[in-house]
Chain A
């Protein structure tokens, strides 16, 4: 994968930044200075969905727009599990770590993903294809154990089904 800190933003990035700015401006209209921070989490959600992760540049950009110190923004990003400041794989595999899934054997499913992909929780494979992580309860407990691959939910997953799920993640 290598380093992702491109010095010259691509045309696509410029477009995304413009989209983010527009979103921020629409939120901030009519908001007093001390309440600007109330939109921070919403803005970070949008930025992450646009760029895939929250790079240092993105954090600086948001900091300037909102007039909130970067340190504070980084504090928020590192606190909430939804945000990441590192690029993640194209296929985000998240094994539900909720109680119902645990009781029904989610730990074994996670083990099997780790073994098959050769990575630990929170890591991305060398080819940038798969990210493996845990997910807080998605509330689909009747389908436990549950695995989410990007936005798709797989229910009643067993260790035996892991290879099948990975095979479905084609380019």
Chain B
């Protein structure tokens, strides 16, 4: 079959929607973390149960992408089409499947039913009184990403049809400009303006590039979209191609995401088979093809000029802008580079209009943002909220606060380029400018929550180590400056630092910010500067008192066993360094010379007899 026109597409969607669904559908979350958590076994158990009890006519199984409830994986959702009732089960085991399928799961206490208000997959506009809204994740976790029919049934490719048959390229750009959509990869550059620059260039060849090199540690929203809804990215790239006059799209994806690559390949093949990619799309005369290119583990390749060099098969080193890629990009031709999440907004904007998009989010940043909530938060997961939502709503209302009743200390946004935000700013409505004003940045949307056990100097050192590792070495401030900064932080965490070290750190930070070549280097001191500004007392405790208040810097702490010890021997058995000795029922002793300060004894002791000082 070939879809030859938008009308044909509409008929196809109607046909797919007219198929009577099985009485009960079971959605199984098959994203990378779901599979790692054991969803594969659960899926097998469901199929086994269905075939053993001959339930083929009562149940249908749908393998979907990540539902965003990562903390509760393996997750499954049942939809009873006769009543419309939807139930989500978390931490599912094989043993629970018979109970869940027979509808008795609600009565047995072993099954963990996730309250509906933690998950709102079907609202593109936030429903009354709800925090979450799903534009980017509209299909993720609802739809089988390997079946194009489901995407089409859900209105997929209708935006592309509308664009190529009823709008001029300029009208498409104007719509995107009017929507106020800004780059979701971190910089927040207006997408419409970027497209306009490329469209204005005269060239025999142009490129639409998708940046799927999601390198920020702790950010996994792009992976979720690519694994759960790859067609939304393909459709948007084709719309972008039409708008700027490009016939080739390139997806640059990191090699760490094999499942996303596989699903993209399937999606591209299916779209080509239906004529939704390829020659003369929906009878419009517009041709568009998409290829996949692979990264090979280099964070700096998320920077657009470095990314382009990497696609061309070179070392992924950034070059000075201008010329911007919109003027001279891939193979020296005008190219637009947008991030996955940005593309995932496009089709919805074309379908529903710029006005609708502007009703969501803030004046300066319309729409939603997906955040990957991780770290010490109770409910790790993927959330999509309108811009302007506060951190408190995200961390406490959706994320259910801090794990193990510990105290919130900071939340880190923007990855290695961002900063740490304290309690004082929890109620700030967040968008690009608001985060910048408090010394952090939006970044790609990783949000790492930290509690009182995390040392902020140690965190700053961690990010710097990351930058050091990933610095391409081309410019001196980044290559050598960051090395010196790292050494200073090491002095502090080892207890060798002084107040003068702090002053030197500040000066060097500013120099690097002013002189580094690309975004990676210019923003690398941010984690240091923001932790110094917000947690100065913690830095001072290290340099003045030789003390780590969080008890995380191993050189500044030691463990000792107090007289509360009953001599049970559990610490001795848990010690990986075999440095604890003691007779049964007598107080044990730690050999400080051999101790590796792992804290295993501290965690194992049931009598709180191990002290960390």
Are B218 and A141 interface neighbours, CB within 8 A? yes
| Per-residue B-contact encoding for A35-51, CB less than 8 Å = 1, 0 else | 11111111011000000
Whether A118 sits at the interface, judged by CB under 8 Å, is no
Of the candidates B317, B446, B599, the one whose C-beta lies within 8 Å of that of A108 is B599
Are A138 and B32 interface neighbours, CB within 8 A? yes
Complex-state Cα separation, A98 to B223, whole angstroms: 15
Which chain B residue shows the least CB distance to A100?
Answer: B374
Known contacts A99-B462, A111-B596, A137 near B219 by CB under 8 Å: yes
Known contacts A38-B312, A99-B446, A80 near B598 by CB under 8 Å: no
Are A41 and B217 interface neighbours, CB within 8 A? no
Of the candidates B33, B312, B415, B600, the one whose C-beta lies within 8 Å of that of A99 is B415
Stretch of A5-13, A85-93, A123-131, A152-160 with 4 or more beta carbons under 8 angstroms from chain B: A152-160
Of the candidates B73, B219, B459, the one whose C-beta lies within 8 Å of that of A142 is B73
Q: Which residues 427-479 in B have Cβ within 8 Å of A in the complex?
A: 446, 448, 450, 454, 459, 462-463, 466, 469, 472
Which chain B residue shows the least CB distance to A98?
Answer: B217
| Per-residue A-contact encoding for B311-341, CB less than 8 Å = 1, 0 else | 1111111000000000000010000000000
* Residue among A41, A76, A80, A100 with the highest chain B CB neighbour number at 10 A: A100
Which chain A residue shows the least CB distance to B315?
Answer: A79
Are B598 and A100 interface neighbours, CB within 8 A? no
Known contacts A76-B315, A100-B375, A103-B448, A137 near B293 by CB under 8 Å: no
Which chain A residue shows the least CB distance to B223?
Answer: A139
- A contact residues around B70 at 8 Å (CB): 141-142
A30 to chain B, nearest CB (A): 13
Are A76 and B256 interface neighbours, CB within 8 A? no
Are A141 and B294 interface neighbours, CB within 8 A? no
Whether A97 sits at the interface, judged by CB under 8 Å, is yes
Whether A75 sits at the interface, judged by CB under 8 Å, is yes
Are A100 and B600 interface neighbours, CB within 8 A? no
Are B37 and A155 interface neighbours, CB within 8 A? yes
Summed over the interface, the residue pairs from A and B with CB atoms below 8 Å come to a total of 154
- A contact residues around B297 at 8 Å (CB): 80-83, 136
Question: Number of A interface residues, CB 8 Å?
Answer: 48
Are B375 and A104 interface neighbours, CB within 8 A? yes
B125 to chain A, nearest CB (A): 28
Are B33 and A139 interface neighbours, CB within 8 A? yes
Which chain A residue shows the least CB distance to B332?
Answer: A34
Are B598 and A140 interface neighbours, CB within 8 A? no
- A contact residues around B466 at 8 Å (CB): 97
Whether A144 sits at the interface, judged by CB under 8 Å, is yes
Complex-state Cα separation, A84 to B26, whole angstroms: 43
- A contact residues around B463 at 8 Å (CB): 99
- A contact residues around B218 at 8 Å (CB): 98-100, 137, 141
Whether B65 sits at the interface, judged by CB under 8 Å, is no
Are B73 and A108 interface neighbours, CB within 8 A? no
Given A79-B317, A139-B257; 16 other pairs, CB 8 A cutoff: A37-B313, A44-B296, A102-B459, A102-B462, A103-B454, A104-B376, A137-B215, A137-B217, A138-B32, A139-B33, A139-B372, A144-B374, A153-B32, A155-B36, A155-B37, A160-B600
- Which of A's residues lie within 8 Å of B, judged by CB? 34-42, 44-45, 68, 72, 75-76, 79-83, 97-100, 102-104, 108, 111-112, 115-116, 135-144, 146, 153, 155, 159-160, 162
A-B contact pairs, 12 of them (CB 8 A): A38-B311, A44-B296, A68-B313, A80-B298, A99-B375, A103-B448, A108-B598, A137-B215, A137-B256, A139-B32, A139-B372, A141-B374
- Which of B's residues lie within 8 Å of A, judged by CB? 32-33, 36-37, 70-71, 73, 214-220, 223, 255-257, 293-299, 310-317, 331, 372, 374-376, 380-381, 412, 415, 446, 448, 450, 454, 459, 462-463, 466, 469, 472, 574, 576-577, 596, 598-600
